[in-house]
Amino acid sequence: MSFPLNPAQRAAVAHDTGPALVLAGAGSGKTRVITQRMARLLEQGTPPGALYAVTFTNKAAAEMHERLVAQCGPRGKDVWISTFHALGGELLRREMPRGRRFVVYDAADTAGLLRELLRELKGDRRYDVAALQARISFAKNALGSPDALPEGGNEYDDLARWAFPRYEAALARLHALDFDDLILWPLRHLTENPDAREAWQRRIRYLLVDEFQDTNRAQLLLLKALAGDRGNVFCVGDDDQSIYGWRGADLGNVLDFTTTHFPGARVLALEQNYRSRTPILDVANAVMEGQVRAFPKRLFTDRPGGEKVTVVTAESSEGEAKFVVDAIQKLVGQGHRRREIGVLYRSNLLSRAVEEGLRLGNVPYRLIGGTSVYERREVKDLLAYLRLALHPEDEIALRRVINYPTRGVGDVTLQRLERWALAHGKMLFRAVEGAAGLSDLTPAAREGLGGFVRVVHAARDALEGGRALAAVAREVAAAVRLREDVTAAGPTAPVVARRLQNLEHLYATLERAGAKGPEESAKVLTKLSLHYADADEADGDKVTLSTLHGSKGLEFGVVFFLGCDEGILPHARTDAPRATDVTSTLDVSEERRLFYVGVTRARERLYLLRARVRGGQGKAPRATTPSRFLAALPGELLERVSYDSQAPLPPEELAARVRLFREALAKRSAG
DNA sequence: CGAGGCTAAGTTTTT
DNA sequence: CTTAGCCTCG
């Protein structure tokens, strides 16, 4: 995209000091505005270290970095660009007294912690831990206490009030921070220490924020603290693309920007869309028409022409996937680049069928969203050893691997260790270290624990001695015979292969990170907790499969938008909430914006797909209703197609299939 | 006392 | 399809 800037973009890029809010419609070149403004500031002599850009995902941060470097050369490398959470972690690391390491707990870790706490509660009913997590996180994000949760009525609100102080105390005891703490702690630190605050304000002279509509209350306050009176905050966002309300994002940050948060701020709007053909944009505008919006925008494009948006109704979810896979193979056969094709969907489940089809057809793809490699069991297990080596307080890591691979330590042994730790006021790992001297342990347990402690100590000593984290990881894995255990435990050979591959992936990542010694290693482990994405994902010419949430900021020549059915989009739970849901996150309008985000990813061609019948796993297939968002679109904007994967193929189609199949065969036997 | 196999139940979106 | 909890066997 080497268009000259339009007047609105130019004004945004030229914005000098003071707060600014740039309302940037989808595809209006917002990343370009941010990078160009940074480039401009650099050219005018601002040192790179005085700029800080904040994004929401590591992926977005990496991309922005790339674009900045492309624009203004190696100087761009020295500009700070990171996620809010990475910024928070970095600030803490720099501000904390040396040697005070902390662990970052991800959702799985905090779920384990909460499960522990709930055991205290009598009655052995099973609680929905995720529901608790959501409430606690919500309360923290809003900078409130759980007292702010509605009284009575919902038992999970009561449960959250009960758990909250215990949860916070446990984190403190474990020297652990959850994701929300990565914002809250720096905020508290800057609020309480004027010297530190001023130092950071001097250091960061220009703050730039991408996807500002997704910020929560705590993040806004952190921004304010960093910006200081100077208020050099340049926030770019689109209220129409606000899709993280469920995570505490507060649109009030946008709505009250110029009045409450940054009085007198400049407001600019980017409405020209450089991405989509007219028919696609017409659909996007139609989706939002008549909605109550904070800043009503009507996107316009100078890219007329293009084909109508196609609504495909398949007979089943399998048919839906089949249509997509066939269409992709056809496109690729016509010479389209795979990286120009995106498959989008509301929930991760929907990707399965398409994935399978692509694998069968030998079409390379990359997956965005879903469980990352670092959340995989075997990877987390190995990481737990490393965490424990750096950080003996990390009881969650300890519990995770104390009997993995199995070494004769069961519930009873663990309870005895706990009792000893409690009686002596020591942390649990001390009890484990002293297991040899505990008379009431079984010989098997004592021996198992002895071996366990030796492994952890060896890892600790190696790291303290300055060895590379990657090497230590391999040594730990070898010492506990992780490969062997994974191999023996796997239900099927392909599953085992995938798990071993995940471990290799971890080694490779750790090697690339190149960390040595305890400090660097702790930093790398924190990054991994934040699901730090690998650079290698974007490599190669691959079809992209992504959740709608993961697709923000991406664009494709052709988009296949799966699951335009009621119950999927909008998701059933927005319409019929459960007792475990945090009521304030439920909002059908957010689902509409999600639809809007999906539509606006497409440049040339958009397929909206639905299935007449959908069956859950093992559940009886049920007839579906078209998504209300689809149903509300003016008919003249759409081309409707019915797809029956069972129907006999027209002869020319059949011939094409046979050819493709032969080619695939030839390729396979060649490779 | 622990391991391993079995059943049952639950799957929105993510830093 | 996966995980967590239950139950039985060694």
pLDDT at A588: 85
In angstroms, rounded to a whole number, what is the distance separating the alpha carbons of residues A603 and A509?
A: 34
Instruction: Measure A473 CA to B11 C1' (Å).
Output: 32
Q: Percent of chain A beyond pLDDT 70?
A: 91
Is A297 in the active site?
Answer: no
| A284-287: long-range contacts, CB 8 A cutoff, minimum separation 24 | A284/A26, A284/A596, A284/A599, A284/A600, A286/A632, A286/A633, A286/A634, A286/A637, A287/A592, A287/A595, A287/A596, A287/A599, A287/A629, A287/A632, A287/A633
For A585-603, the pLDDT digits (tens) are 557 889 999 999 999 999 9
Mean pLDDT of A108-112: 89
Per the residue annotation, which of A35, A241, A544, A580 is the catalytic one?
Answer: A241
Instruction: Measure A113 CA to B5 C1' (Å).
Output: 27
In 3D, which of A42, A509, A554 has the Cα closest to residue A343? A554
Mean pLDDT of A176-197: 94
> A3: pLDDT confidence band, cut at 50, 70 and 90?
low
Per the residue annotation, which of A30, A67, A460, A474 is the catalytic one?
Answer: A30
In angstroms, rounded to a whole number, what is the distance separating the alpha carbons of residues A418 and A441?
A: 12
> A117: pLDDT confidence band, cut at 50, 70 and 90?
confident
Is A158 in the active site?
Answer: no
Instruction: Measure A124 CA to B7 C1' (Å).
Output: 18
Burial pattern A358-386, b for ≥16 Cβ within 10 A else e, equals: beeeebebbbbbeebbbebebbbbbbbbb
Q: State which nucleotides on strand C lie below 7 Å from a protein beta carbon.
A: 1-3, 5-6
Who has greater pLDDT, A27 or A297?
A: A27
Mean pLDDT of A38-49: 93
State the nearest residue by CA to the C1' of B12: A347
Mean pLDDT of chain A: 87
Q: Is the CB of A126 under 7 A from strand C?
A: yes
Q: State which nucleotides on strand B lie below 7 Å from a protein beta carbon.
A: 1-4, 10-15
Highest mean pLDDT among A424-428, A458-462, A638-642: A458-462
Q: Is the CB of A124 under 7 A from strand C?
A: yes
Interface residues 97-116 of A with strand C (CB < 7 Å): 115
Instruction: Using the CA of A137, give the nucleotide whose C1' is nearest.
Output: B15
Dihedral angle at the C-alpha atoms of A79, A83, A88, A92, nearest 10 degrees? -60
Mean pLDDT of A51-77: 90
> A224: pLDDT confidence band, cut at 50, 70 and 90?
very high
Task: Tell me the three state secondary structure of residue A286.
Answer: helix
In 3D, which of A287, A359, A259, A296 has the Cα closest to residue A21? A259
Q: Is the pLDDT of residue A497 over 80?
A: yes
Q: Is the pLDDT of residue A584 over 90?
A: no
In 3D, which of A387, A473, A457, A417 has the Cα closest to residue A109? A387
Question: Which of A117-126, A276-285, A547-556 shows the lowest per-residue confidence on average (mean pLDDT)?
Answer: A117-126
| CA distances for A576 relative to A9, A13, A586, angstroms | 42, 44, 9
pLDDT at A671: 44
Is A30 in the active site?
Answer: yes
The size of chain A, in residues, is 671
Instruction: Measure A349 CA to B8 C1' (Å).
Output: 20
Mean pLDDT of A206-215: 95
Instruction: Measure A277 CA to C3 C1' (Å).
Output: 45
Is A31 in the active site?
Answer: yes
State the DSSP code for A564: -
Q: Is the pLDDT of residue A313 over 50?
A: yes
Q: Is the pLDDT of residue A238 over 90?
A: yes
In angstroms, rounded to a whole number, what is the distance separating the alpha carbons of residues A86 and A238?
A: 23
Sequence-ordered list of residues with C-beta below 8 angstroms from that of A376, at least 6 positions apart, any chain = A499, A502
pLDDT at A188: 94
For A278-304, the pLDDT digits (tens) are 999 999 999 998 887 878 888 898 888
> A628: pLDDT confidence band, cut at 50, 70 and 90?
very high
Instruction: Using the CA of A529, give the nucleotide whose C1' is nearest.
Output: B15
pLDDT at A617: 54
Who has greater pLDDT, A654 or A311?
A: A311
Q: Is the CB of A547 under 7 A from strand B?
A: yes
Q: Is the pLDDT of residue A155 over 60?
A: yes
In angstroms, rounded to a whole number, what is the distance separating the alpha carbons of residues A562 and A183?
A: 35
For A337-390, the pLDDT digits (tens) are 999 999 999 998 889 889 989 988 889 998 887 777 888 888 999 999 999 999
Is A211 in the active site?
Answer: yes
> A535: pLDDT confidence band, cut at 50, 70 and 90?
very low
Q: Are A102 and A519 in contact (CB under 8 A)?
A: no
